[in-house]
């Protein structure tokens, strides 16, 4: 009886003092302003990244981060059928960031890939590829925001 009581008290004490905090909980609590000084490469992916960063930046923040980046986007053939017709593609977006925060300068590279099947309708395939670009840009900008949180 005494062992069970001791075990219950110990368990409650340990669980009560445990501070669980999700990894992404501070992601929206940014306290810096991101200024994009320049970007080169694929215009569509760059515009999606810039729009995502603008949403996560605070205009009234005292801390300023200067950012420049270069994006290379490619769509490669990864599979063909027996007649030589393309069946599968791979979208690849590689972005190199130069982050200047005060006196510090950090270089950071992100590479995102996505495989997809060819669609017979060219219009639908173009829209699908644009959605893929948007998703790749979202992933790249989220990784950048997490990296900015680690640079202090």
Residue carrying the six token digits 């395939």: 125
Contact 58, 86 (CB under 8 A): no
Chain centre distance of CA 115: 18
If we measure between CA atoms, which residue out of 111, 100, 101 comes closest to residue 71? 111
Asked whether residue 68 is assigned to any structural domain, the reply reads yes
Lowest mean pLDDT among 10-24, 39-53, 80-94, 96-110: 10-24
Q: Is the pLDDT of residue 74 over 70?
A: yes
Lowest mean pLDDT among 11-20, 40-49, 89-98: 11-20
Domain tally, the chain: 1
Q: What is the mean pLDDT of residues 71-86?
A: 93
Is residue 21 classed as helix, strand or coil in its secondary structure? coil
Asked whether residue 3 is assigned to any structural domain, the reply reads no
Predicted model pTM = 0.77
CATH code of 113's domain: 3.30.160.150
Report the percentage of the chain scoring pLDDT > 90: 55
- CA 94/CA 12 separation, integer angstroms: 48
Contact 112, 96 (CB under 8 A): no
If we measure between CA atoms, which residue out of 27, 28, 29, 73 comes closest to residue 48? 73
Asked whether residue 26 is assigned to any structural domain, the reply reads no
Asked whether residue 138 is assigned to any structural domain, the reply reads yes
Regarding predicted confidence, which is higher, 8 or 71? 71
- CA 21/CA 101 separation, integer angstroms: 27
Domain region containing 137: 31-150
Lowest mean pLDDT among 49-53, 55-59, 127-131, 134-138: 55-59
**Cβ-based neighbours of 105, under 8 Å, separated by 6 or more:** 98, 99
Q: What is the mean pLDDT of residues 129-133?
A: 94
pLDDT in tens, 94-112: 999 999 988 888 898 999 9
Q: Is the pLDDT of residue 140 over 70?
A: yes
Q: Is the pLDDT of residue 20 over 90?
A: no
Asked whether residue 17 is assigned to any structural domain, the reply reads no
């Amino acid at each position: 009886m005494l062992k069970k009581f001791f075990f219950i008290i110990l368990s409650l004490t340990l669980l009560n003092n445990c501070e669980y905090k999700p990894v992404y909980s501070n992601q929206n609590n940014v306290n810096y302003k991101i200024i994009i000084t320049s970007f080169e490469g694929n215009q569509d992916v760059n515009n999606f990244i810039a729009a995502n960063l603008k949403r996560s930046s605070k205009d009234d923040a005292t801390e300023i981060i200067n950012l420049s980046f270069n994006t290379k986007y490619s769509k490669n053939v990864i599979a063909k059928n027996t007649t030589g017709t393309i069946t599968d593609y791979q979208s690849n977006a590689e972005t190199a960031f130069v982050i200047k925060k005060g006196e510090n300068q950090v270089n950071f590279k992100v590479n995102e890939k996505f495989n997809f099947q060819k669609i017979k309708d060219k219009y639908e395939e173009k829209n699908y590829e644009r959605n893929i670009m948007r998703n790749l840009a979202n992933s790249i900008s989220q990784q950048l925001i997490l990296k900015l949180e680690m640079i202090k």
